[in-house]
Structure 1
Amino acid sequence: MEENAPQKPENAGHLETLGLEDLARELRNNTDPLVRQYAAYLLGKAHNPWAVQPLIEALADFDKSVREQATLALSRIGKAAIEPLAEAMHEPKWQTRYRAAEALGRIADEKAVKPLIQALKDNRDHVRYMAAKGLKHLGDSDAIEPMIILLKDENPYVRMMAVRALGTIGGPKADDALKAALVEEKDEKIREAITEALR
């Protein structure tokens, strides 16, 4: 079975014969999350920029597995999805912003850097965490300054990811910030991660 392929619904064979518009309709309207999930998967597999819009909408699906599959599908489509994903980072639902940040990080294109840096200031810790994770993969030095602020984030998971990202991006500025954070950080696991990042 292909990596990240979802569980097949009973009507998988029928779905596999559908064109993009019909798949998008299934993704929007079908009451079975398994069907919506599989429709998102097939839309991603088609690698067609047309599918970006319905998949962006699916990032707000109330079913977590559908949101996850839409994220993977958008990252498969790649560059054509970057701008719509950057726009999705302004959606009111934090789940949508979280998944959009995840997809941007997975696409790993330099155009994803700016929206992810913006997302480091999101009021939701889940989104800040995912943005930091994406920037860690991208390794862009523009992320260093805004990432340093996250070393004082109230959420330990966000701080941990900021430490890992700064350790990956590296450079004197990142190292100085990590050394300063080591003095103030109380969480033992994060202290270990800082020490590791400074090696």
Structure 2
Amino acid sequence: MTKGQEKLSVDEAISKLSDDDVELRKLAVNSLEGVEDEKVIEPLIMALNDENTPVRHKAAENLGNLNGELGDLAVDRLLEVADNEEGEYKRFASFALKASGSDKAIDYFSKSINDEDFGVRKVAVRSLGELKVTSKIDDIEKIMLEEEDWGVRLAAIRALGDMEVEEAITPIKKARRKEKDKDFKKAANKAIKKIEKSIKKK
């Protein structure tokens, strides 16, 4: 099987995920897109720790898109990795959990908004918004007001917008008043409009 071919078989792709050639690893992980088979879970979990960012990203995406019982199995393994690893490995496991949209990850994301890694905090905050965990509005408000990393604060604004509930509007306005950055204020306005639009539809 050569690099020029568009897609590898499942078994070939699994084998090539650990190849020294990064182009073959990219081909391998792309070949596993949409494959619903338990045997791809562990190789994709390992690929989350690949030295190449596109490989890690695609592996996370593939894991997050697994459905049904396979999706549950993947989430369980991802939670193990996220709880026991650090650095890029933990970040991309968190990203895969976010992509899964699984309620099983809510507890993990709830504690990870205080993780020492800003990348993990950012994913955790956005995930709580997408999962509409309204019980965490106060915690996310605190992040908007106190978090040092601008990207995490921005993620918090967007997360509250994703909640689509009226009680998220006041915290956003409070953060908007405090923040001087124009892009942040723009994101705050967009989040408020998203909430107001959602409320009107209900």
Deviation at 1:11, TM superposition (A): 5.5
Q: State the aligned residue count.
A: 187
TM-score by length of 1: 0.81
Deviation track 1:13-44 (CA, whole Å, cap 9, x = no partner) reads: 6x32x52xx5433212x111121122223334
Change (3 A) 1:143 1:43: farther
The answer to whether the aligner puts 1:174 opposite 2:156 as a matched pair is no
Q: Distance in 1 between matches of 2:15 and 2:190?
A: 48
The answer to whether the aligner puts 1:55 opposite 2:44 as a matched pair is yes
Give unpaired runs (5+ residues) of structure 2: 194-202
Give unpaired runs (5+ residues) of structure 1: 1-7
Q: Distance in 1 between matches of 2:111 and 2:135?
A: 11
Counterpart of 2:46 in structure 1: which amino acid? Answer: E
Q: Distance in 2 between matches of 1:49 and 1:149?
A: 40
Q: Distance in 2 between matches of 1:178 and 1:57?
A: 39
Deviation track 1:120-139 (CA, whole Å, cap 9, x = no partner) reads: 11211122112223333322
The answer to whether the aligner puts 1:38 opposite 2:32 as a matched pair is no
Deviation at 1:83, TM superposition (A): 1.3
Write the mapping of 1:22-37 to structure 2, written as runs, cut at 5 A.
Answer: 23-28=13-18, 30-37=19-26
Q: Distance in 2 between matches of 1:64 and 1:140?
A: 30
SS at 1:123 equivalent: coil
Asked whether the equivalents of residues 104 and 116 of structure 1 are also in contact (C-alpha less than 8 Å), the reply is no
SS at 1:60 equivalent: coil
Deviation at 1:74, TM superposition (A): 0.6
Counterpart of 2:17 in structure 1: which amino acid? Answer: L
Deviation track 1:161-198 (CA, whole Å, cap 9, x = no partner) reads: 11011022033442232222223222222122223323
SS at 1:25 equivalent: helix
Partner of 1:165: 159
Aligned match for 1:194, one of 178, 183, 188: 188
Change (3 A) 1:142 1:96: farther
Write the mapping of 1:13-162 to structure 2, written as runs, cut at 5 A.
Answer: 15-16=8-9, 19=11, 23-28=13-18, 30-78=19-67, 79=71, 80-151=73-144, 152-162=146-156
Deviation at 1:96, TM superposition (A): 1.6
